[in-house]
């Protein structure tokens, strides 16, 4: 019994450690003892001792919402990356590499160029438009890459790259041709949580609950799909319906992550891989573990992005790409001789 829960305990421990680090590290360092003190006073509604009020404000209004947004973004990318890998039966599928993230980015910018200021409708229209564009991209990439019943790695990545380039070019054109906050959009596109607030956290939450919730219920279906459509159906799975639902849910999670945190690559590649290496291939376990690990991993990347060039911030997408691209090449070499996938 304890062996069954060990992966969850370890992943949760890593996630909590990442959150604590993220709250502690920044322009001023807040020692874990002070963090504990603040947390205890929040919970018991006692007035804070002198000297801790500023820290308390930094945590509640700046670092905590940012950490939570980064956690949710990483969770969305980890979960949808796992789902795409399972759906395409391909170890190199990742929301970024197959072009879905760029497609969602295009959709988001399209909505922003119409209504850039963050009004209520802006908060709703941006993710919706990103979602529609993400779905369109993933369908086109899939259709272009498919050979009979399979999606070969090279085809998938190549058509993903092509669509990604096309969407990125259109996005750049939209940003340059529209007046207004171009700089902000550029920073956002490269992936950064610099616009985090409790409002964005609340706005992203419903999409993630739906998207990741649906994915979590389909772990067993993803297991069956690894045997191919024929066998999955012969084992009792309504294949077409399940695949459609999974594609919708994964794209919704990706679109939400992109809408609020920009385009962050390689999380959906690295995280499921490491989890599969550590804890095995069963998607019923792999999905929740990748969601947890995705959150933790992106928090760590965000800490790096904040501290490397202090007081300036790097977009976190740069950090994940610097770590992810070499990892991608390693997996590419490894997947030639099959290994554990």
Q: Does 284 engage in binding with other proteins (CB under 8 A)?
A: yes
Six token digits for residue 201 = 């956290």
Binding segment toward other proteins, per CB under 8 A, in 56-64, 70-78, 116-124, 276-284: 276-284
Q: Does 334 engage in binding with other proteins (CB under 8 A)?
A: no
Binding segment toward other proteins, per CB under 8 A, in 62-70, 118-126, 154-162, 228-236: 228-236
Among 42, 230, 244, 330, binds other proteins (CB under 8 A): 230
Phi, psi at 36, each rounded to 5°:
-65, -45
**Closest approach of other proteins to the CB of residue 152, in Å:** 12
Looking from the CA of 287 toward its CB, the CA atoms found within 13 Å total 23
Q: Does 239 engage in binding with other proteins (CB under 8 A)?
A: yes
Contact 55, 30 (CB under 8 A): yes
**Closest approach of other proteins to the CB of residue 237, in Å:** 6
H or E, element range at 91:
none
What x/- string results for residues 90 through 129 when contact with other proteins is judged by CB under 8 A?
----------------------------------------
The Cα-based distances of 237 to 22, 119, 224, 256 in angstroms read: 42, 43, 8, 28
Instruction: Classify the C-alpha dihedral 339-83-158-232 as positive or negative.
Output: positive
What x/- string results for residues 38 through 57 when contact with other proteins is judged by CB under 8 A?
--------------------
* Cβ-based neighbour number of residue 309 at 10 Å: 9
Among 234, 244, 322, 325, binds other proteins (CB under 8 A): 234
Q: Does 236 engage in binding with other proteins (CB under 8 A)?
A: yes
Cα-based torsion angle of the residue sequence 245, 249, 255, 257 in order, rounded to the nearest 10 degrees:
-170
Nearer to other proteins, 217 or 308 (CB): 217
Q: Does 327 engage in binding with other proteins (CB under 8 A)?
A: no
Smallest CA-to-CA distance from 83 within 326, 253, 208 is with: 253
- C-alpha 249/C-alpha 88 separation (Å) is 15
Binding segment toward other proteins, per CB under 8 A, in 5-13, 47-55, 245-253, 275-283: 275-283
Nearer to other proteins, 9 or 235 (CB): 235
Q: Can you give the C-alpha Rg of the chain in angstroms? A: 20
Contacts for 248 with CB less than 8 Å, ≥ 6 apart: 135, 214
Q: Does 2 engage in binding with other proteins (CB under 8 A)?
A: no
Among 16, 154, 220, 244, binds other proteins (CB under 8 A): 220
How many residues touch other proteins under the rule CB under 8 A: the total is: 28
H or E, element range at 278:
helix 267-279
**Closest approach of other proteins to the CB of residue 269, in Å:** 17
**Closest approach of other proteins to the CB of residue 179, in Å:** 50
In this structure, what DSSP letter does residue 230 have?
Answer: H
Among 79, 127, 160, 219, binds other proteins (CB under 8 A): 219
Cα distance between the two ends of the chain = 26
Contact 278, 335 (CB under 8 A): no
| Contacts with other proteins, residue ranges (CB under 8 A) | 89, 217, 219-221, 223-224, 226-231, 233-239, 276, 280-282, 284, 338, 340-341
């Amino acid at each position: 019994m304890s062996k069954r829960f060990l992966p969850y305990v370890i992943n949760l421990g890593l996630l909590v450690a990442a959150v604590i680090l993220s709250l502690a590290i920044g322009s001023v360092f807040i020692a874990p003892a002070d963090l504990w003190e603040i947390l205890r006073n929040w919970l018991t509604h006692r007035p804070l001792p002198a000297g801790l009020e500023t820290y308390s404000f930094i945590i509640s209004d700046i670092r905590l919402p940012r950490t939570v947004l980064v956690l949710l973004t990483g969770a969305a990318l980890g979960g949808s990356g796992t789902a795409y890998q399972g759906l395409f039966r391909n170890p190199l599928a990742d929301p970024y590499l197959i072009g879905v993230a760029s497609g969602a980015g295009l959709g988001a910018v399209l909505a922003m160029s119409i209504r850039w200021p963050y009004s209520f409708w802006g908060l709703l229209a941006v993710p919706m438009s990103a979602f529609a564009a993400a779905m369109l991209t993933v369908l086109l990439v899939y259709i272009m890459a498919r050979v009979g019943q399979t999606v070969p790695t090279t085809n998938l990545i190549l058509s993903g790259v092509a669509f990604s380039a096309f969407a990125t070019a259109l996005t750049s054109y939209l940003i340059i041709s529209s007046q207004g906050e171009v700089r902000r959009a550029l920073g956002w596109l490269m992936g950064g949580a610099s616009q985090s607030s409790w409002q964005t956290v609340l706005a992203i939450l419903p999409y993630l609950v739906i998207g990741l919730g649906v994915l979590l219920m389909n772990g067993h279906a993803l297991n069956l799909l690894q045997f191919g459509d024929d066998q999955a159906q012969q084992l009792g799975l309504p294949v077409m319906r399940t695949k459609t639902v999974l594609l919708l849910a994964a794209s919704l999670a990706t679109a939400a992550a992109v809408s609020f945190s920009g385009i962050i690559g390689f999380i959906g590649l690295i995280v499921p891989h490491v989890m599969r290496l550590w804890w095995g291939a069963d998607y019923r376990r792999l999905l929740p573990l990748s969601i947890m690990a995705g959150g933790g991993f992106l928090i760590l990347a965000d800490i790096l992005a904040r501290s490397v060039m202090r007081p300036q911030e790097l977009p976190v997408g740069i950090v994940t790409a610097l770590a992810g691209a070499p990892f991608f090449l390693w997996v590419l070499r490894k997947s030639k001789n099959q290994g554990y996938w």
